[in-house]
Structure 1
């Protein structure tokens, strides 16, 4: 069953302006160290890399129905890559607690994430699926 969906469109130039104005203060408030390291490896597309991740955080907050309130913070939502290279989310703190709260008993939540960008836009979509534990599908 689908627990929630969310999408977000983020302006890459707005992220670049925040980086120019606030630098590390903005980065450390909004992104995990893994996300910052990934962006640092992409100097020519650094702002786009971070914009996609910012959009993913927004999309997740919409999918769980809270936005950035009820204990869900930007840094609780980290974009990481699975072994196959596909993007997914690593959740901590309030984001993980909220996901656990909306996941029905006897189910496990699976987060699906897609990211793309085409300057000046970055887009992310999140779908949260609840899979029954111990049942053949």
Structure 2
């Protein structure tokens, strides 16, 4: 069952401007150390940050809160599997909100997809509740 859906479109040039203007203050307020390492190791640094910014916005929308109600930027973080597939991790208040949304007997799975085509970066997040344990016999 789908618990939440969120999407966001971020302007790469706007994120690049924030990086130039605020530098580490911006990076450290919004992005985890792992996200910063990933972005700084890429050729398209601003696009990488913009995709993660969009993912955080999309995740907050899927959680039903937007970036308010105590949710912090770094409560949501994107890493990548070896295959390159992005994975959303939540901690703090975002994890608490996710637990509140998840029905008993289910686990929450957050799906995220990212893309960019200058000057835009886009993210979609879908939060799914999957039943725990084996399927019921006899349907």
Please indicate the TM-score interval, normalised by the length of the shorter structure.
Answer: over 0.9
Normalising by structure 2, report the TM-score: 0.94
Query: In the alignment, is residue 72 of structure 1 matched against residue 62 of structure 2?
Result: no
**Paired residue total:** 136
Instruction: Give CA deviations for 1:27-47 in whole Å, capped at 9, x if unaligned.
Output: 0000000000001111x3000
Runs of 4+ in 1 over 4 A off after TM superposition: none
Normalising by structure 1, report the TM-score: 0.96
Equivalent position of 1:94 in the other structure: 93
- Note the C-alpha offset of 1:71: 1.7
Gaps spanning 5+ residues in structure 2: where? none
Larger radius of gyration: 2
- Note the C-alpha offset of 1:121: 0.1
- Note the C-alpha offset of 1:81: 1.3
Gaps spanning 5+ residues in structure 1: where? none
Q: Could you say what the CA RMSD is over the residues aligned between the two structures, in angstroms?
A: 1.1
Structure 1 distance, partners of 2:134, 2:5, is 24
- Note the C-alpha offset of 1:83: 4.0
